[in-house]
Structures are given as C-alpha cells and as structure tokens.
Structure 1
C-alpha cells in the first residue's frame, strides 16, 4: 500500500511538473524569437515587444480569477482547460499571418498560463501529504527555473534550424504531453462544499486594475499614457476593496489578508522577486558595458542564476520539510541579504568572479525563500481557498518582477548616466535599493513569526 501511494505521488508530481514547466517556457523561449518575428513580419521593435508584453499582462491580470474558478469548479478540470488553451493558442501563433495575430495568440496563451501557474501549486495540497509538501514545492521551483534557463538556448537552436514557428510547435507539443499526464496521472481533488457564486464584478475590477498596473510599468518610454494607466490602477484597487467588502461570495477574502503570515508572505515574495528581476535586467548592461564581456560570455553568466535556482530547489524543499518553513525562510533571506551586499562591493573589487559569487548567493537565497514561503502560505490555506491563495502568491511574484524590470532598470540608468563611474555606480545604487528590499522582507517575516507565536 505504501509503495502504491508513493508511486501515485510520483506520478502526480510528474504531471504537475510538466504543467509548471509550460508557463516559464512560454516566457523565456518567446523572448529569443523577437528579432526573427521582427524580420518575418517587417515589424518595428516596439510592435515585436508586444509579443512579450501581451503574455505578461494577461498572465498577471487573470491569475486570481483563474485560481478562484479552480476552487469553485475543480482544480484538475481547470488545469486541463488551461493547458488546452495554452496549446491551441500556440498552434494559432504558429500559423499567424501578421505580427498582431501572434500578439493576440500570445494574449490567449497567457490566459492558459495563468490557469497553470495558479492551479499547479494549489494542486500540491490535493495530491501530496503535508509532511512532503516542501519537497514538492521545491521540485516545482526547480522545474520552473529549468524552463527559464533552457528556454533561450533551446529556442535559439530551434529558430536557427527551423525558423520562428518551431518555438510554438515546441510549446504546443509540450502542452499535449502535459495534458496527457495531468488527465491520467493527477487525481481529482475530493469535492467539498463549493459555493457556486462567482464574484464577477470583483474579478473584472481586479483584472482591469492589474492590467493597468502592468501596462503602466512595462510600456516604454514613460509618457502621459503611463500616468493615466497608473491612475486607473489606483482607482481600480480602491474599487476592488469596496466591491469585495460588499460581496456575498468575494473573489478574495480580505480578512485573510489581515493574517500576518499571509500579508508578510505576499509582500515579501514581491520584494525578493524584484531583486531577482534586477539581476536579469541590469546584468547584461553591467557585464558588457563595465566588465567588457562579449555577448556569448554574457549569456553564459546570465544562465548561472536560473541554473542555481534549479539546483537549490529540491534540497530547499527537503530543508523545509525537516526544519520548518520559518527557519528555511529566514536562511533564504539572510543568503539574499549577503548576496545584495556582496553585489554592491565584490564586482567592483574582483570583477567577474565577484559578480558570479554574488549572483549565486542571491539566486540560491531566493529559491530557498520562495519554497519556504509558498509552503507556509499554502499549508495555512483552506481547501476551498487554495486556488486563490496560490494565485495571490503568483500575483505577488509577477508584480515584483514587473516592478523590478521597470523601477530598478530606471534606477540603474539614472546611476549610470549621472557619474563618471557609469554602470559601476548604477549597479551599486540598484543593489543598495535591493538590500533595503531584503531588510524589509526580513522585518516582515520576523513580525509575522512573532505575531503567530503570540497567538
């Protein structure tokens, strides 16, 4: 019986891992195709960028809605629907006649990716015992990091051999394999007392709010349009809170967000995600402009972060299972803090070796914290709230990634353009801000732990 149960858990984890791989692959493998798409459709650079922006905005804005629908209608059926949408959209992009059809297909693909991102983590609680949930979360983090790391190189090989449509063939084929595994290997969650009412006004308002925020922070250069979008996001946030307080079956239980562990966890994952995105946005400019590396070497250095995350993910999960999420979370944050402080000092003192060492500390700390944080928040979620809790985690992470890409990139440019030290001072400036982010996350985590212990 024990062996049979272990085999079922392994099959469930394999199916969830495939579902987790697709969204990260959808981001990283498409980026490498932008120059080819620009040439194929005679598009401008700004038009080609919408292939990435459309996916990112739709994913971020539909996460919570997808998670809540999974809670109401069943996580396995909605997960399969998300894989199906992702795969069909990939096939549509493969035969697109114009760049804007590719953009539309990517937007639809983003809706499917949102279902997978929100429901894969939520489904861990349905398929894996609580005492091994940390290991499962670590494995999913590893798979996501592998998708991010492998996407550019795999996409580059495919495009070079078969042209840009081949990356969408890859995603469609991977989607079909994932659907087969999920449908046959993932057990359905036991049916509970699900409320059939869906908070449509709340869902629409939240999607509009998050979409406006995402567009305000991703559209470049900054113009009056960005300011209007930021205003819409602020007004939408206020309207969403008002709607949720009056709703009989709210999309998000606002009282849950008052719990210290959840509030601190969501804010902290946003803060540390912004730091990781900083390494991806600022890194290439510093490596080429200050350290003088060529493009190939820069690309190799940039793969260090995702590779370290992939290696650390599974051991991080086992550490969470053995020592608890609180200990693992603090260890991860202290590693992150050491990495951001090192990034301010070591690259300027010892060059590339200092940069790589700092990057290893940052990404390993992030992988450990993310695993611990996800495990803690999902362990405390009610069964009928796992989908929306998982979605809120993904929303916090994506919001941090977006903020890191925009705000930290602008801060680096400001620091690089105002001194004779160029990118060296810019790197110090952004990682001084990153150090403040980690310190704030540590403070939030300590506060939440103290509040929980006093109850």
Structure 2
C-alpha cells in the first residue's frame, strides 16, 4: 500500500479520520511515542545491575540514563526544525530506524563506555520520534479529532513510563540486562513498517524553503540546554560550584542564542513566534505543570516510606496509581477537549491540579495512604486533561511549515519542566523537612516537607491558571 499523499491543510480539515490507513498511521505514531518513553523508564531499573556487571560506580552508570535524556533535551527543537525543512516523514523514518539500531547496539555493548555511546545514539532517534510524532497528528486526523489523537499519544507516553520498571524487573530476572534494550528492537521494526506504509508523503517544497537550516543557532541551543540539564541533574539536587558554573554558562548561552537568532536570515527559532500569546503561554504552562508533576515522583516515595511506613511492595503499588490514571485518562481527556474546546479544558485541567495540590498541601498524616492517593489521582487526571488540551490547542492552529519546530518546543518545555522539578522541588522538600539525611527523618518532618512542597507546587499551578485564563480571554 502506498502512503497517503498529503495536500496542504487537506488532511487537517476534511480527511476521513477512520480510514484504515489513517488508523494504522496513528498506530505507528502511538508506538513511536511508546518507545521513546519506554527507553527512559526501562533503563532506570537496570542501574544497580549494570553497576555490578561493569564493576562501576553509581556516578558512572547513571550516564546510561543521562546520555539518553541529555540527547533528547538538547536536540528535540533542532530535529523538529529539520523535519520542517527536509520532510517530516523522511526524518521520522530515519529516527525510528536509528532508535532501533541503537537499541540493538545497547544490547550488544561489551563495555560501559560503548553502552553509554549507544544510549546517546538511541536518544537522537528518540528526539526525532518525540518531536515529529506530535507534528504528524494534524496530517493524520481531522482538526475535530486532534484532541483525541493528542490524548492517545499522551496515554502511550504514560504507558511507556509505567511499563518500564515492571517490564525491566521481569527482563533482568529472566533473560538479563541486555534484554532491557533488545526488547525495543522488534517493537522498533514494527513501528518502522507501519510508519513507512501509512504515514502521509512529504510535500514538495520550494528550494528556497529547504535551505534555511541554522547551524550556529542549533549548536548554541544544544550547548545551552545541555549546560542547564547538567546543572539541574548533577549532584542530585545539591547545588555546588559545578552546578552554579553550568547554570551561569546556560544563562550566557541563552543570551548568545537570542542575539544570534535576531541577526541570522534563517533562524532556528523565529523570536517573533513568541509574540503569539497562545504559543508562548502554552509553552510556559507546560513547563510549570511538568515541574509540578515531577514532585509526585521525587517526593512521593519518601513520604510513603518515611511518613507512612509502607513496605517496598506497597510503595510500588501506590506509585503505580499516577501512571495508571494518566494512561487511562488520556483518550477521554482528548475527547473532552474536542467536545468542549481545548482552551476551556486546559483551564479545567489546571483547576483539578490546583485542587489536588491544595489537598496535599493541607494533608493530615492521619488520613494515611488513601489521603495521599486520592488527591494524587486528581492531580494526575488534571495533568492529562491539560496536556491533551494544551497540545491540541497549539498544534491545531499552527501552520504546516512550522509543525515540527512547534512540536519540538512543546516537548522541550515538558522535558525542562521535569528536569527542573526533580531538582528544585526536591530541594524544597529536603529544606522543608529540615533534615541532613532524609532517609532517617521523623515521619512528622517528612509530612511537613510534603505539605510545603505541594504548597509550592500549588503556587506554580496557580500561575499557569492565570496564564490560561489570559490566553482564553484574549
């Protein structure tokens, strides 16, 4: 079967969304999103085993995860722009093939250094997949169903995140650590076949539109993002001289990048894009709510163990509640966005997050596990509703020639929020608990730290809510 031939704006307005080819195209995009998120979560559970196998320190093996995350963060905007210029279908197929090949190389790596290098290569493929998957939604489904498609992709991302630890544990106990990466090879090949057969063909663009890549801006942005990501991740939330130096380098790099983009004829990111209140507001809101969601992953386990005294099995079950809710609510959230309007549902999602954070900030320890999971479910559902609605609102309005770069910016905002949340809200929790060693802190101090952290999270969500209301009013 030949791929669908996409005409400008045709598929975004009047294509039939339920044709078999469109369904299979969406299936390929869903698998692409699943694989890129699975690549992050499945490796975390294998770090202790990798440290033993390669006789390496934790600081060394953590680069198996960091190499992947840093590559995605630094390149996701650039590959989105490259897809706009050279053809999104072509580049997405290259990204899937690269991810699949790198997964095989990871599974066969004889040394830790080669494994880290292969993970960086896998991260390049994942960056392409994440950036261009959202961009393809407007060419695969009608505008009226954009929210559902965004919700489905959000669900697949959540499933990949939730599936990673349990699947990884099973694979390590059975075939061994190499299976953590080799499991992605058959899934990658299936994704490649579906995408090759069913994704819309790239449009033929005039030559003048295909010669505008910005190598200097791309390099500056990559170095700036790498410096920021390292500043936020090295030291596990404890800021030292190295972290401060990296943060200063990132600030300086950002200034150079803005100066460069204002002078070159074909910039990587046109700064005038940010005059659009909806786009700039959506990016900032996405970063804020992702920062908040990271608190549930960083602070939650300490509260469950130290504050409530749960054993490891109970903690695992409690932590699975959030990803499960996110996975199950993605498609319904998208349907709500399609039916009632994306901007309106963005506000509703933020209201739900605000209410959940408010309850957690006032949470009495006497309510136990149910008192924690209840508001956590509300926060997670609100996040899923916001993300589906926010992405739908942005991607349904952006022009064909900018979908790759805007999709990359949306993913970048989310990633930066997660990175920032792990560091900043983790530091808030430690400071509020007033403990040098959080693992030996009294339950009352841990509960106080949790409440302070989510009070801070509530303030961030309220800021996002104010922005959402301003965008909606405008």
TM range, smaller chain: over 0.9
- Given that 2:15 and 2:142 are in contact with CA atoms closer than 8 Å, whether structure 1 keeps it comes out as no
1:248-283 Cα offsets, whole Å, 9 max, x none, are: 111111111111111110000000001111101111
Structure 2 unmatched runs, 5+: 1-13, 436-440
1:88 equivalent to 2:93? Answer: no
1:259 equivalent to 2:259? Answer: no
Structure 1 unmatched runs, 5+: none
Deviation of 1:320 (Å): 0.9
1:358-381 Cα offsets, whole Å, 9 max, x none, are: 110010000000000001111221
Deviation of 1:342 (Å): 1.1
1:96-125 Cα offsets, whole Å, 9 max, x none, are: 122122111111111111100100000111
Deviation of 1:304 (Å): 0.7
Deviation of 1:2 (Å): 8.6
1:17-57 Cα offsets, whole Å, 9 max, x none, are: 01111110001111111111011001111111111111111
Q: 2:120 aligns with which of 96, 102, 107?
A: 107
2:450 maps to which residue?
427
- Given that 1:291 and 1:351 are in contact with CA atoms closer than 8 Å, whether structure 2 keeps it comes out as yes
TM-score with structure 2 setting the length: 0.93
Distance 1:382 1:448 in 2: 19
Secondary structure of the equivalent of 1:351? helix
The correspondence of residues 123-142 of structure 1 with structure 2, limited to 5 A, is 123-142=136-155
Distance 2:16 2:276 in 1: 38
Deviation of 1:228 (Å): 1.2
1:358 equivalent to 2:375? Answer: yes
Deviation of 1:5 (Å): 5.3
Distance 1:268 1:373 in 2: 9
Across the two proteins, how many residue pairs are aligned to each other? Answer: 451
Distance 2:367 2:19 in 1: 48
1:206 maps to which residue?
221
Q: 2:180 aligns with which of 143, 147, 167?
A: 167
Deviation of 1:222 (Å): 2.9
- Given that 1:347 and 1:355 are in contact with CA atoms closer than 8 Å, whether structure 2 keeps it comes out as no
TM-score with structure 1 setting the length: 0.96
- Given that 1:332 and 1:364 are in contact with CA atoms closer than 8 Å, whether structure 2 keeps it comes out as yes
1:247 maps to which residue?
264
1:319 equivalent to 2:342? Answer: no
The correspondence of residues 8-407 of structure 1 with structure 2, limited to 5 A, is 8-193=21-206, 194-220=209-235, 221-346=238-363, 348-407=365-424
Distance 2:92 2:393 in 1: 22
Distance 2:429 2:301 in 1: 12
- Given that 1:347 and 1:353 are in contact with CA atoms closer than 8 Å, whether structure 2 keeps it comes out as no
2:438 maps to which residue?
none
